[in-house]
Amino acid sequence: MKTNDIKQIWKSANTDETTGKRYSLSKIQDYRKNKSHQMSTSGSRAIWFDIVFKALIAAALLFLLVFQVTQPVYHQIIVVLISVTVLLLGLNFSYIKKLKAVKETDAIMENLENKLHYFKTTFRNFIINSSLSNPLFVLTGFFFYYQFKYHEIRMELPWNDPILYLFLLLAFIISFGAQWANYRSQVKELTETIEDLYNESLASMKIAERRIKKRRNVIMYTILILLGLLIFLYILR
């Protein structure tokens, strides 16, 4: 495939035959529905992923408690950690319940506004909850490391051995920072989408932009797959 051919395909992907076209109300409504469903799916997927992650952490801590750790003080610490993890899991299920309470009705714009409110309130709390998963995971990992290497858990006070505590702090900060940046981007996108979709002309432009982007991505991935296949065949030659 020549470079000029690729450029031509890319150019055609960015030239939409619907430029300047005003989409019908049904098309705009479909786009609004898709956007509403997309936001629900995105939020739900993130929460369920964290639920599974925390459940695995709780199971690992329970394994240590029942089969490995014999030190009474760490028995108590692990019980506290399991309790905290279960509490955070319970909060996650409440976030899911609240998201499901935002019903998909015929009033699509109202749905989007309700979901924006959910993301600005409940989902913001979820980010803090989710960011605690990484420190719990790191701490559980340290417990396993100490237990299997030394057959006991060795944790010093922070001023004697700050490394573990720095790891825990960094685990929270990195997780929270990444999720918060993504959260702000989602809220901004949803806010702009709602503002645009109130105007049918802007909504038509959004649909056209979405179709161009989708077509461009399909072409890009197709080209990458073909190039990868050619490289693979060349290596096998």
Fill in the amino acid letter for 89: L
Domain encompassing residue 95: 25-200
Bigger pLDDT: 214 vs 190? 190
d(CA 213, CA 117): 28
For the segment 166-195, the average pLDDT, to the nearest whole number, is: 84
Domain assignment present for residue 1? The answer is: no
Distance of CA 152 to the CA centre of its chain: 36
Domain assignment present for residue 9? The answer is: no
pLDDT in tens, 52-105: 999 999 999 999 888 877 778 888 889 999 999 999 999 999 999 988 887 666
Handedness of CA 28, 40, 134, 149 (dihedral sign): negative
Under a CB-based contact definition with an 8 Å cutoff, are residues 85 and 152 in contact? Answer: no
For the segment 219-224, the average pLDDT, to the nearest whole number, is: 75
Which three-class secondary structure state does DSSP give residue 33? helix
Count how many domains the chain has.
1
Fill in the amino acid letter for 13: A
Domain assignment present for residue 215? The answer is: no
Domain assignment present for residue 72? The answer is: yes
Domain assignment present for residue 237? The answer is: no
Domain assignment present for residue 205? The answer is: no
Domain assignment present for residue 163? The answer is: yes
d(CA 82, CA 57): 8
Domain assignment present for residue 129? The answer is: yes
